Amino acid sequence: MAENAAAAVERKFDTYAAYREQFLDALRNTRRSLLIFDRDLAHTALESRDGIEALDTLARDVVGEEPIRILVSTATHIEQSCPRLLKLVERYSPRMRIKVVAEGAAHPDGCFLIGDGRVLVTRFHLDRARGKRVDGASPDIARNAAQFETMWISAKIGPSGAALGI
């Protein structure tokens, strides 16, 4: 009897360096859709040269409207410390959007990235590095994607990178 090729493979990590490594690897291998939920993106390495390069490649090659969606609890870090990310958001709008979780809305204790609906990189708690990467079919991916969609509906528009002509 053949083994199920779609079985999920889990890899655990417990350092921020390992988290960033898994995050960037998942980002580099995403081709169709990307969902990210995080407090502020500070620990993701998304603003690093490698992170921006991977996100730029995905945004340039992906098709459809809003295939790249980033949801944060607060936009302060992005606005103050992520100029390269903001330039990408401006350049690739509407394929890439950032939203901020609605005030008072319930959200998970952890954070996650879902690539192509088949890869999950998650930290179990916002203030700790411990987490896991899941490749393949997993109820964890479906649960996090459903939480993301619920939060996305009521979230407010976040930083767009566009200069305000005020």
The beta strand positions in 93-139, using DSSP E, are 96-100, 111-115, 119-123, 131-135
Given this model, what pLDDT does residue 4 score? 47
Residues 6+ apart with CB under 8 A from 10: 132, 133, 134
Kindly report the pTM of this predicted structure.
Answer: 0.91
- The strands making up 34-38's β-sheet, listed across from edge to edge, are 9-13, 131-135, 119-123, 111-115, 34-38, 68-72, 96-100, 156-157
Percent of the chain with pLDDT over 70: 93
**Total residue count of the chain as it appears in this document:** 166
Residue with tokens 């870090």: 77
pLDDT digits (tens, 9 = 90+) for 37-60: 999 999 998 999 999 999 999 999
Q: Between 49-61 and 83-92, two packed helices, what is the crossing angle to 10 degrees?
A: 0
Residue with the bigger pLDDT between 80 and 106: it is 80
Judged against a pLDDT cut of 90, whether residue 140 lies above it is answered with yes
Residue with the bigger pLDDT between 55 and 5: it is 55
pLDDT band of 63, cuts 50, 70, 90: confident
CB 56 within 8 A of CB 84: no
pLDDT band of 6, cuts 50, 70, 90: low
Which domains are present in the chain? Answer: 9-157 (3.30.870.10)
pLDDT digits (tens, 9 = 90+) for 96-112: 999 999 887 777 788 99
